[in-house]
Structure 1
C-alpha cells in the first residue's frame, strides 16, 4: 500500500513511500471512520505513522490537530521532524513552558504540539483570550498513552483529556508501545471495536529476547554502579565483537559521561575491535561536536546522549549511531521515548534513579518495557536482546514484569482532592451529581469497573462526599443552602498555580496579620509539600549547616533544610558546590512556588508583602543581590548584566535612566545593548512623592486632611500605596498607577510629641524596591 495512493495530497508528509503491515491495518479506521482510535503496537513497529495519518485526515477536513508528547524534549523533536507539514503549507506550533506563548500563532496553527502539563494549563484557562485556541482542536493524538500510569503526571494526563473532551469533543487517537489492558483505555475513550487495535509481538520488525541478569550488591553505591557497568559490558561485548551495536540506559546525565569514559578503557583492555581513529574522514567530522569529552569518546566508537547536550551534539550522536560509526551508546531514558534509535543489544544498567524532588525512586515498569523495546535493528538483525541488570532481591520482580507485562492503572485517586478542586474552581462542577458525572468520564472510573475492590468502588459516592467535605473544611470550597458547591478565593488560587492543597493552606497561613519577612517566605517555600521527598545526602549535611548557621529553621526536616540552603545560596548567587547537583530543579520549582506565594500575599495580605515575595523570586531565579534585584525587571537584563551594572554603582532602573547610554557604555555595555536597556528602564514606573502643603506642626486635638501626590513619570503598573504614622498603618489602597494618584492623609494632633508619616509605594508584580518617603509633624 503506497502512501501516495492512500493520501495523494500528503505523500510528502511521510518519511517513507509504503505503509507496513501494521500501518495498513489501521488505515480504514483512521481515514474512513470518525470514531476515536486506540492502538497498542510494539516499539519500532512504526506507530508514529498512525499519528501522522490521523493528523493528515484532520488537516484534510480543515481541522486543528493537537499532538500530546510525553516529554518536552520530544515536542522539540516533532517540530524539527514536521517541517514536512510546513512544506505542504501547514503551520506547526510548539507550546511548552520553556517558550513564550504567542497566542496569535497558536490560534493560527494547524498542528499544535504540547506536553500533558501544558494542555492542562491551557484547558484550565480556556476562557481567556490567551488560551482560547485550545477549544479549536478537532483531533487530539496522545503519544504513549501509558503515561496514564506515571506517578503524578498520569493523573494530569487523565483529567486533561477528560476536560478537553468536554470542552470541544475532539477525535482522540491514543497510541502506546506497552499497553496490556488496551480494552480499558478503549472503553475510557469510547473507541469502537473496529477502531481498537492490539498488535502483538509478531508485528515487531525484529524478534525480541529479554532477560534479567544479577550482580553482587555491595555496601558502596558508587562501587555498585561499576559492578553493574561491567555486567552490562559483559552482555554487550559479544554483539560488539560481531559488529552489532549496544545501547545502555543509565540513571543520570552525569552517569552517561562517566560510564562512557570507563567503558572506553574497559573496551580497550578487553581488546574489542571498535572505534574509527584511523578513519580520517570521521576524525574530521567529529570536530563538529561541541562537547570535547564526547568528541574524544566518539572516535573510540563509544558515546553518550542526554538532554543536556546541545541539539547539534545530540543530532550528530544519533546520526552516527544509526550509521554504525558509534557502536556503544550510553543514554538516559529520553532515548526510549520517541527517538527511533534501535540497537541489537539494550541493557538497562540502572533500575533506580535520583530525583532531586523525590530522592531515589524506582524506574517505572512501563519505562523499563519501553527501553527494552529499543532492542533489534530492522533490516540488520533477526533478533534483538534486552537485559535488565538488577540485584538478586529485585530480580524476580523484573522477571515477572518481562513475563506478564503490566496493566495501565489510573493514578487519579492519589490526588483526587487537588483535581476535584481544580474542576470546581473552573466552575464546571457545581454539585455532587455533577462531580459524579465528571468522575464517570475518567479512566479511574473505567478501571474501577474492572477492579472495584482495588479502586474502592463499593462506596464511591461516599468517598467523593468525604473528599468534598475535606475541601470545605480546609476552606477551598464552600457549599450553599441548596447543596451547591463553589470554589473560594483560596481554592481558585490553589488551582491557578497548580499547588498541592497542603502547600496552598500553608501559603494562606503566611498571609496573617503580621507582615512576613524574607526568612518566613523562604521557610514557607522550603516546607512546601512539593519538596516533601527531597532528601539530604550525608555528603551535603556540612554545606547545609554552614549556610544555615545561626538561623531558625523551625520544623523543617533534613530535606526542607536542604531546600532552604539552596534557595538562600541562590538568592545571594553562591550555591555551595556540594548542593549544585540538585539546585537547578529545586530553584526552578521554588520560583514557581514563590510566584504563587506572591499571588497569595497580594490577595490575602498586602501589596508590600507581595512585592517582597516578587523580589525574592527574582533573586532566587537570577542570583542577584537584594539592592540590585530591581535591575532584573528591565527587559534584557539577566543576572550577568545586573551584576555588572551593580558593580559600577548602577543598582536600580532609576540609576539606569540617570546614567543614559553613555553611562551604560562606560559601565561595560555595548552601545546597542545600552540603548535597549535604557528603553526598558524607561518603560518601568518612576515614582516621585510630592507632599505639597503638608504641615510640619499641628496643635493637640486638631485635625487636618492633606493630599499627597504619588506621581509616575515612567510606565504604568499595578501599585499598592500605604500610609503609616509612627509605623502604624492608617490606609492602604491598590491602584493601576498611570500618571498620578492623590492620596488623602489625615493629620491629627495625637497624644505624641511628634508624628512620623510615611507614604510607601510597592509594586506587587515587579521586583522593584518599594519607594517610601517620611515627613515628621510636631504636635504642639
Structure 2
C-alpha cells in the first residue's frame, strides 16, 4: 500500500524504544520510519517495505532487530555484499555497547561456531546463509536454526541474474527450518505485492513509499554520445560527457560521483579528469590545507595520494580499508569534490552527491564477456544523487550510446519489476533440496515450490511464467530429468539423492558440470587396471576448462595469440573461451601467465580452484584414491604456480607460493627434504629463522612412510604360489591414505587406510614370465604429496 509523507507525524526514538535509544544516531524517526513503526513494533507479522534510496531504510532494519533483542531472540541481517557485512560490524558497535553481540559470518573468515551460536545479531551474505542452511544439521552451522528474525536488505536482489536464485531459495529454506519473522527492505519496485505475497506479509505490514519520501527530489535523465569504432576512445568520449555534466555542480561547490565499470577505470578516469579539469580551470583541491596534506600522506595507494589533493578521488573494493574509509570521509566533508567509483559504492554505503553520472552501462565480466550493467545497479547508483540537508535537488544521468537511450529512459520512467531467477537454475536447486532431505516425495516438490518467489510471481504473471498445471508439468519434467541423469532415485512417489546428487549440491555445481566430473571419475575407475594411469593432469584441467560455468567466457582478439602460445594446436575441441581458461590454468601452474591474459586470470583461477576442489571430491568418492591425489596436486599447482616436483611443499602449513619457490630454488622440493635440511637449511633459503623453525615443525607433522617387505622372496619356482605380508608404516602425522599393490603394472589390491600402520596381503606366484615386479604405492587424497612407491623384483625360475 502507498503511504503519504504529509500525513505522518515523526516519533521520538526514546518514546518507543527507550532501552535502545543509544543504538540510533538520531533522536527522532523520520516520517517514513514513523509510518512503519507500528507494523514493526506492534505485530509479529512479516513486513515488506519499498522506499527510495537514502530515505532511511537501515533504521527500519534496526527497529526490527531491537524488537527481536528485547524479546531475547536472535536476528539475522542479510547484506547484499560482503563489503557491507564488514561495514555493519563497524556500525553496530552501538549494539555491542548496549551489551549485545554482533557476529559477521563470511567466506573470508574462519567460522567460530561458539561465537555464532552466542551472537545476538548475525550478519551474512545470501551465499553464506545458503551454505549455512544447507549444513544446518552439522554442529558448526546449527546456530542458523535459532534465528528469530531475518532482515533482508535490498530484497530486490531477487532480480539479479547471478545471485537472485540463491537469495530466493535461502530465504524459503530458512522459513521452513525455523519460521523466523521476515522483514524485507527494498529500493522502489513496482511489484511489491508479489514480494509481499511470497513472504505472507499482509496489507497492514506492506509499505510502498513513493518518491515524495526522498529526502531530496531527484532529476534523472539520459545523455547520449556518438559511438565510435575504438572502445578505448569511447571511454574518453563518455568521460568528457560526464565531466560536462558534473562541472557546473562542482563550480557551485557541489560534488559529483561518477560510476565506471572496473577498478582500473576508476584510477584511469581520475587521472584523466584531474588533467582535464585543470585545463578547464575548475577551482578544486585542497593543496593549501596543511592538515589534509598530512592526512593524505598516510594513504597506502600512491596514485590516490596525489589525486585527492586535487579534489579528485577514486574508490573500489581493491583499495585498503583505511584508504576507502578516508576517501569516504573526505567526500562527506567536501574535500574530495569528484569521486570515481565502481557500482559497489552504490549498495549500502551512505555517500550521496549532488550530481551522479553513470559513465559506463556495460562492463567486462571475466566469466560472461561484455554484459549490460544490471538495471538494479543502474537504479541503485542513480539513487545516490542529492545530499540531504545540503541540496534542494539531486541530479543524475545515464551516459549511453544513442541506440540504448530509449531503454534507459523507460527504466527511469517505469522502474524495474522484480522477477524470479529461479527458473534458469530450477534443476540445481531442486536437486539441492532433495540432497538436503527437505524433499522426500513428489508431493514435497510442489510444497517446496509453493514457498518460492517464483511461485508467487507465476500467480501474478501467468503469461510470463508457467502457472497452474503448466507449472506442475515443468517441475515434474525437471524431476524426471534429475532421475534420468543419475542425480535422484525415485521409487513410486518417494525420491532420494544419489551420491552424484549429493556431491553436486555440496559444491554448488551446475548439473552438466557435475555429470562431466562423474563421467571422468567413471573413466578413471574403468581403466584403473591398465598398464598406465589413464588420466593425467591435462585431463583434469580440460574437465574444468570445459565446465558449463565457463561457457560464457570469451577470448578477445588480443588474447588469442597468447592462448595459442600456451596451448599450441591442442584442445581444439574446446570453444575459444574454454581454451582461454585452459591456457590460464596451464600457464598458472608454472607462474608464467601471459600478460595479455592477466586481467581475467584472477577471477577465472578462483572459480577454477573451486571446481578443482569439487572434482577432487568426485574422484575421491567415485574413483581410486590416486586420482583424487592427482587432483589435489593440480589444484595446489594452479593456486601457487609451483613446479610438479616441488608442489608437495605446499602441504606444509605456512608455505605458500613465495616460500615454496624459495625452498625449491635451494633444492628443497619435498617436506622430507625440509625435515632433513633442518632449521639452518631452511633459513639458508631466505626464510627468517623464527619462521624456519615453524616450517620445519609443520613439515614433521606430515606423513613419513616406510615399507617393510618382511620375508618377501627374491625368486619363486614356476607354478608355485606363496602368500606374504607387506607392512606400510607412517612415522609422521596421521593422514588418510590409499594403499595399492601392483605386479608388472597390473593392480592386485587396493586398500583405504588412515595411516598409522597397515598390513597388505600379497600373493607371489610363479607366472609365465621371467620376472615379477611388485610395487607398493601410497597416495594421500587430501594432500598434494607425490605418490610414495617402493618396489621389489622376484625372478621366476
Q: TM-score range by the shorter chain?
A: over 0.9
Contact 1:628 1:651 in 2 (8 A): yes
Equivalent residue for 1:440?
Answer: 450
Instruction: Name stretches of at least 5 consecutive residues in structure 2 with no aligned partner.
Output: 1-10, 528-533
Contact 1:703 1:749 in 2 (8 A): yes
Contact 1:536 1:559 in 2 (8 A): yes
Equivalent residue for 1:773?
Answer: 790
Q: Which runs of structure 2 are paired with 1:612-631 in the superposition (5 Å)?
A: 612-631=630-649
| Alignment match of 1:466 (pick from 471, 477, 498) | 477
**What does the per-residue CA deviation read over 1:39-93, in whole Å, with 9 as the maximum and x for residues that have no partner?**
1111111110111111111111111111111111111111111122222222222
Structure 1 residue 464 displacement after superposition: 1.0
Structure 1 residue 101 displacement after superposition: 1.6
1:54 maps onto 2:64 in alignment: yes
**What does the per-residue CA deviation read over 1:537-556, in whole Å, with 9 as the maximum and x for residues that have no partner?**
11111111111125x21521
Structure 2 distance, partners of 1:146, 1:470, is: 31
Structure 1 distance, partners of 2:675, 2:150, is: 50
| Alignment match of 1:752 (pick from 769, 772, 790) | 769
1:535 maps onto 2:546 in alignment: no
Structure 1 residue 398 displacement after superposition: 0.4
| Alignment match of 1:339 (pick from 337, 349, 353) | 349
Equivalent residue for 1:410?
Answer: 420
Contact 1:411 1:444 in 2 (8 A): yes
| Alignment match of 1:497 (pick from 507, 510, 514) | 507
**What does the per-residue CA deviation read over 1:424-469, in whole Å, with 9 as the maximum and x for residues that have no partner?**
1111112221101100000000000001121121411111111111
Q: Which runs of structure 2 are paired with 1:656-735 in the superposition (5 Å)?
A: 656-735=674-753
1:597 maps onto 2:615 in alignment: yes
| 2:29 partner SS | coil
| Alignment match of 1:423 (pick from 429, 433, 442) | 433
User: CA RMSD for the aligned pairs?
Assistant: 1.1
- TM-score, structure 1 as length reference: 0.98
Structure 1 distance, partners of 2:687, 2:515, is: 45
Equivalent residue for 2:12?
Answer: 2
Structure 1 distance, partners of 2:124, 2:789, is: 45
**What does the per-residue CA deviation read over 1:488-511, in whole Å, with 9 as the maximum and x for residues that have no partner?**
111110000000011001111111
Instruction: Name stretches of at least 5 consecutive residues in structure 1 with no aligned partner.
Output: none
- Of 97-106 and 693-702, the range deviating more from structure 2: 97-106
| Alignment match of 1:475 (pick from 468, 486, 494) | 486
Contact 1:178 1:366 in 2 (8 A): no
1:242 maps onto 2:252 in alignment: yes
Structure 1 residue 281 displacement after superposition: 2.1
Structure 1 distance, partners of 2:643, 2:685, is: 18
Contact 2:188 2:210 in 1 (8 A): no
- TM-score, structure 2 as length reference: 0.96
- Of 401-410 and 692-701, the range deviating more from structure 2: 692-701
| Count of residue pairs brought into register by the alignment | 777
Equivalent residue for 2:8?
Answer: none
- Of 122-131 and 8-17, the range deviating more from structure 2: 8-17
Equivalent residue for 1:135?
Answer: 145
Q: Which runs of structure 2 are paired with 1:96-107 in the superposition (5 Å)?
A: 96-107=106-117
1:637 maps onto 2:655 in alignment: yes
**What does the per-residue CA deviation read over 1:561-617, in whole Å, with 9 as the maximum and x for residues that have no partner?**
100011011111121111111111011000000000001111111110000001111
| 1:42 partner SS | coil
| 1:572 partner SS | coil
Equivalent residue for 1:577?
Answer: 595
**What does the per-residue CA deviation read over 1:607-640, in whole Å, with 9 as the maximum and x for residues that have no partner?**
1000000111111111111111111111111111
Contact 2:555 2:576 in 1 (8 A): yes
Structure 1 residue 520 displacement after superposition: 0.3
Structure 1 distance, partners of 2:362, 2:146, is: 41
| Alignment match of 1:258 (pick from 263, 268, 279) | 268
Equivalent residue for 2:101?
Answer: 91
Contact 1:754 1:779 in 2 (8 A): yes
| 2:28 partner SS | coil
Equivalent residue for 1:154?
Answer: 164
| 2:541 partner SS | helix
Structure 2 distance, partners of 1:391, 1:155, is: 31
- Of 87-96 and 257-266, the range deviating more from structure 2: 87-96
Structure 2 distance, partners of 1:86, 1:640, is: 40
Structure 1 residue 663 displacement after superposition: 2.3
